[in-house]
Structure 1
């Protein structure tokens, strides 16, 4: 209708509008719109069959992927993305990294994934003290540049403070007498120096420290999975068939694989939330397990404060001050501990969940996407806590950097199997990148 109006009016303004519309259609490659939409959805993990389903039939995580595909399809002049890697598996993260790396327009993104930021960003904007500071380069470059600037700032601050102290001392000693004129001159110099403003002292941001209690020893084998097969019902496909492995307190493994391959299902089988359809899982009678999953914070009673919730869950701890210290270890202090949890951010509620998990004193941590809603500093604190933890860990995560920090082995869940990847997570990422390039390169006939 808009185009018809432009043709009828035939004014210079209408002609320009028409040219803009044609240019926009060319930008969107409108003749290949369906194929382009299919390519975007395929990159985000949608099979051809899934692409024909109604949006209402998808879970919340998959709807987020649809919303992301829609934003990429529109190809706006300014694309704003807030934590785009949440709800993605590693393969989709690699695809999205390549897609955004080549984005030809303006991209502004918030992300907790340092690896993703390094792969996509050419500038980093740091928000602190209600001001924005722009750094050129990727995230690693930003960290290095900021450290150098703060080091130089601290040196300048110390030099200025020494000069101020010396000048004040000289004025105090020679304010009268034969050198009074020199003292007056230095007093004027000092006044100008103070008026122009002194360099601020560098105040280090508070470093969060997370820790998991020592659970004690459990003699191996802690857990044995023997010839296990699983499916949700007789009418559904097998998720796993004939898998075998063992887990002990020195196990540090990351589960990788596409969404729907069964990573979360495997954690539930280990945790006895699901029972094998065939085979058996043997657990040491003394083994304690703690499972963190991305929906755990949604199960909190938001009418309670973090302090009230923890004292309700752990009635053995009767002293409020002791419980305050426990919660405080996870970065919640002061009013954050006593206000209703509905007033906390998603990241703060996740910290409550981590406090709950840690105080169960598990021998085996089962972590399913623990970095969602966490900031970079908290993720680093979590990594340090896992590395110093005396028990075992099985991790599902889309954060390559966290996996690189804490996992000794990579297990791939796919095609109803669980098998070990022969290299580290970076070699697996390169494998995914090469696989993606092969999938999206048109075959020559």
Structure 2
């Protein structure tokens, strides 16, 4: 008979395995299913599949290069998460230092900070359970869109429910064995608890809520744009959350277990942060700082706190300067003055010992730059009777313009920045090496360092392998490369996906000062408001000019969505 200790160890090992299974990302589950069922994709799908595999291998390497320490400070059975003394390093670089992670049930947190400060690294560490989060708390980490494949959108969402699939396969196997009748009944009861017969209906409803018509739900993933494939990934995550919660046996039944208790998201869209978040976490100076409210409230609160902090800092510095001056002048004077000087010296020592107020350190400001390109006579580009397609799906039969919903048209120009331009970088080279290779006419490294520095990459970032940079920093390498191509026309397709808000503002300023032309595909209303002189809307296989500003278009979209929701 095994000892009680052995039983406890086995139970703990089993629960840990369950926790790891629950913390899988939606794409991980799909990759397992892909291995079990080989696909006959086209060249493009295989290329993206290979890229997905490379990204997964890189994620594994990042995990190996990452070191995380922290102590669970909340109650082990709590639905809140409180980790004290949290530190995070990557390749020896300290990203978080002795800070606290505090996530309370029912809250929706926006995690913000400059590119390269460690936001995605922190979420990745949480998703991989490198942070001591109790095992009874499920974790779902969404990182990117679904890879193109021959599976339909509905199939992809259904397949994340691995527990149901496993039980159905086992039930099918046992159905042919008379001796396993009792076990088969147990499986049927378990499937009934999971509402397995309603899984497809729930998956379909989730997709419908994200804009998928019944016909679109049956379309293959390789026929969707990246934006729509991201919606499939979101639907998969929602579906997995619901089913995992329904399948938990360590929680009481009822609707309470079907809710997502804590949401943490990284976004650089003010509109999105304002509309979703109840709290903001600012990663700054290797610390996590917490603010109540959405992004606008965070900005207001932070300004007030920093103003008070600077007042306190200036008052302390004035007091210190006054006391030091008094001590220097009268420390060796008459007995009375000397005693007063000694008293002030003791006061100064107490101030220092109790901790002085730190000076406010503002986020670094950037100044992007597109070199002068010279004038070219109009018309620069004229296009008529254009058609664009994704597979057999006609997107546009009209003239050229934009913005629009996910899946809108894209076209090449003299410089075309796509959503995935960073994937074309040579990841083993450093930004300095890459730029020196691309622009051999620039012979001096120091000159190239200055060029790269204008785009927010300084010091070790310029000589580290590009693969070790954050997505936002990789985008900055792309913009440095782009600018020094000296184009007449810029075609920017979702250029801000990984850029922090400060960098987006720097990009907007550079675009406004650019001599050449620019066509922008973007869902960032804030950027569009800053740079767009004309707005074009792509929908219903045509392009039409929007004669009002982007804020009016935003309200138009809002009314449209509310009407659709009311009609459901």
User: Contact 1:366–1:395 (CA<8 Å) still a contact in 2?
Assistant: yes
Describe how 1:290-301 pairs up with structure 2 within 5 A. Answer: 290-301=415-426
**TM-score with structure 2 setting the length:** 0.59
Which of 114, 135, 153 is the matching residue for 2:291? Answer: 135
Describe how 1:217-232 pairs up with structure 2 within 5 A. Answer: 217-225=375-383, 227-231=384-388
SS, match of residue 382 in structure 2:
strand
User: Contact 1:174–1:180 (CA<8 Å) still a contact in 2?
Assistant: yes
Q: How far does residue 358 in structure 1 lie from its aligned partner after superposition?
A: 0.7
Describe the superposition over 1:92-150 as per-residue Cα deviations: whole angstroms up to 9, x where unpaired.
xxxxxxxxxxx884322211111110111121111222322211221122112212211
User: Contact 1:240–1:416 (CA<8 Å) still a contact in 2?
Assistant: yes
Which of 37, 42, 55 is the matching residue for 2:203? Answer: 37
Which of 122, 125, 131 is the matching residue for 2:281? Answer: 125
Structure 1 residues 31 and 120, CA gap change in structure 2 (3 angstroms): farther
Distance 1:57 1:255 in 2: 20
Q: How far does residue 413 in structure 1 lie from its aligned partner after superposition?
A: 1.3
1:99 paired residue number: none
Query: Is residue 258 of structure 1 aligned with residue 405 of structure 2?
Result: yes
Distance 1:320 1:183 in 2: 54
1:367 paired residue number: 492
SS, match of residue 427 in structure 1:
helix
Q: How far does residue 161 in structure 1 lie from its aligned partner after superposition?
A: 0.9
Structure 1 residues 239 and 190, CA gap change in structure 2 (3 angstroms): closer
2:124 paired residue number: none
Distance 1:416 1:77 in 2: 37
SS, match of residue 555 in structure 2:
helix
Structure 1 residues 108 and 157, CA gap change in structure 2 (3 angstroms): same
Distance 2:359 2:289 in 1: 17
Distance 1:64 1:441 in 2: 25
2:541 paired residue number: 416
1:279 paired residue number: none
Q: How far does residue 75 in structure 1 lie from its aligned partner after superposition?
A: 5.2
1:339 paired residue number: 464
Distance 1:58 1:236 in 2: 11
Describe how 1:173-188 pairs up with structure 2 within 5 A. Answer: 173-175=329-331, 176-177=333-334, 178-188=336-346
**TM-score with structure 1 setting the length:** 0.74
Q: How far does residue 77 in structure 1 lie from its aligned partner after superposition?
A: 13
**Structure 1 unaligned spans of 5+:** 3-20, 80-102, 246-253, 272-288
Distance 1:180 1:136 in 2: 50
Q: How far does residue 36 in structure 1 lie from its aligned partner after superposition?
A: 4.3
User: Contact 2:226–2:407 (CA<8 Å) still a contact in 1?
Assistant: no
Describe how 1:266-285 pairs up with structure 2 within 5 A. Answer: 267-268=411-412, 271=413
Structure 1 residues 424 and 37, CA gap change in structure 2 (3 angstroms): farther
Query: Is residue 152 of structure 1 aligned with residue 299 of structure 2?
Result: no
Aligned length: 366
Structure 1 residues 436 and 34, CA gap change in structure 2 (3 angstroms): farther
User: Contact 1:327–1:352 (CA<8 Å) still a contact in 2?
Assistant: yes
Q: How far does residue 200 in structure 1 lie from its aligned partner after superposition?
A: 0.9
SS, match of residue 386 in structure 2:
strand
Structure 1 residues 133 and 155, CA gap change in structure 2 (3 angstroms): same
Distance 1:161 1:312 in 2: 49
User: Contact 1:291–1:367 (CA<8 Å) still a contact in 2?
Assistant: yes
Higher mean C-alpha deviation, range 367-376 or range 296-305: 296-305
Distance 1:362 1:312 in 2: 19
Describe the superposition over 1:355-407 as per-residue Cα deviations: whole angstroms up to 9, x where unpaired.
11111111211100101222222212111211222221110012111111111
SS, match of residue 520 in structure 2:
strand
User: Contact 1:78–1:105 (CA<8 Å) still a contact in 2?
Assistant: no
Q: How far does residue 231 in structure 1 lie from its aligned partner after superposition?
A: 4.5
Which of 162, 178, 197 is the matching residue for 2:318? Answer: 162
SS, match of residue 456 in structure 2:
coil
1:98 paired residue number: none
Distance 1:78 1:325 in 2: 51
SS, match of residue 282 in structure 2:
strand
Describe how 1:98-109 pairs up with structure 2 within 5 A. Answer: 105-109=261-265
User: Contact 1:228–1:240 (CA<8 Å) still a contact in 2?
Assistant: no
1:391 paired residue number: 516
Structure 1 residues 305 and 171, CA gap change in structure 2 (3 angstroms): closer
Distance 2:437 2:345 in 1: 63
User: Contact 2:224–2:407 (CA<8 Å) still a contact in 1?
Assistant: no
Distance 1:206 1:143 in 2: 16
Describe the superposition over 1:392-440 as per-residue Cα deviations: whole angstroms up to 9, x where unpaired.
1110012111111111221011222111012221221221122112222
Structure 1 residues 412 and 57, CA gap change in structure 2 (3 angstroms): closer
Describe the superposition over 1:154-192 as per-residue Cα deviations: whole angstroms up to 9, x where unpaired.
121111111111112222323241333322322222222
SS, match of residue 358 in structure 2:
coil
SS, match of residue 364 in structure 2:
coil
User: Contact 1:410–1:420 (CA<8 Å) still a contact in 2?
Assistant: yes
Q: How far does residue 54 in structure 1 lie from its aligned partner after superposition?
A: 5.8
Query: Is residue 66 of structure 1 aligned with residue 232 of structure 2?
Result: yes
